[in-house]
């Protein structure tokens, strides 16, 4: 799917190329005509025409097209994470391999997306990477918890929004 930046970029590039063709045709017609236009004037006119008309259109179009592609990649990433969050919250408990299959992804991408969602404060729950299970929970159920919901061992703070069980490796994510 094209973004508006890509569409506008393509239109500007096409416009620049059309202006270039028209400029060349106009200058060629002037040279081939009754001799009013000399070669030096055609070269100078062509240089300034390309510098002030064609180049800005093509360069601006290329910039917008490239920026639009970057925007499209970001939007695809957001859509993938939104889908992942919806699947997790709807299921409540899901195996990581099932989630990866539903997402058409792999375990590493699921893990990266999960950490990204946690860092944005959008996901609360816990995961046991060894047992391949992911659990969505309300943050109020997890906040203030001192023991692991998986094995009951005391928990250790592992980072911002992350508590890790030193016994079984379960990671608890808090927004």
Q: What is the pLDDT of residues 26-69, one digit of tens each?
A: 999 888 877 788 889 989 999 999 999 999 999 999 999 999 99
Q: Rounded to an integer, what distance in angstroms lies between the CA atom of residue 159 and that of residue 169?
A: 14
Q: Rounded to an integer, what distance in angstroms lies between the CA atom of residue 149 and that of residue 151?
A: 6
Does residue 110 contact residue 84 with C-beta atoms inside 8 Å?
Answer: yes
pLDDT band at 144 (very low <50, low <70, confident <90, very high): low
Beta partners for residue 154, in sequence order: 147
């Amino acid at each position: 799917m094209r973004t508006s930046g890509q569409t506008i970029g393509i239109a500007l590039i096409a416009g620049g190329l059309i202006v270039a063709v028209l400029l060349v045709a106009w200058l060629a017609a002037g040279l081939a005509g009754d001799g009013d236009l000399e070669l030096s004037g055609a070269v100078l006119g062509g240089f300034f025409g390309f510098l002030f008309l064609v180049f800005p259109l093509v360069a601006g179009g290329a910039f917008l097209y490239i920026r639009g592609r970057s925007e499209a990649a970001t939007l695809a990433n957001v859509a993938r994470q939104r889908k992942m969050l919806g699947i997790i919250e709807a299921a409540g408990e899901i195996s990581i391999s099932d989630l990866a299959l539903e997402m058409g992804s792999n375990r590493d991408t699921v893990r990266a997306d999960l950490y990204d969602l946690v860092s944005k404060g959008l996901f609360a729950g816990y995961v046991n990477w060894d047992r391949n299970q992911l659990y969505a929970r309300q943050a109020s159920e997890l906040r203030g918890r001192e023991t692991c919901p998986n094995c009951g061992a005391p928990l250790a703070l592992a980072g911002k929004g992350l508590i890790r069980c030193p016994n079984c490796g379960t990671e608890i994510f808090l927004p």
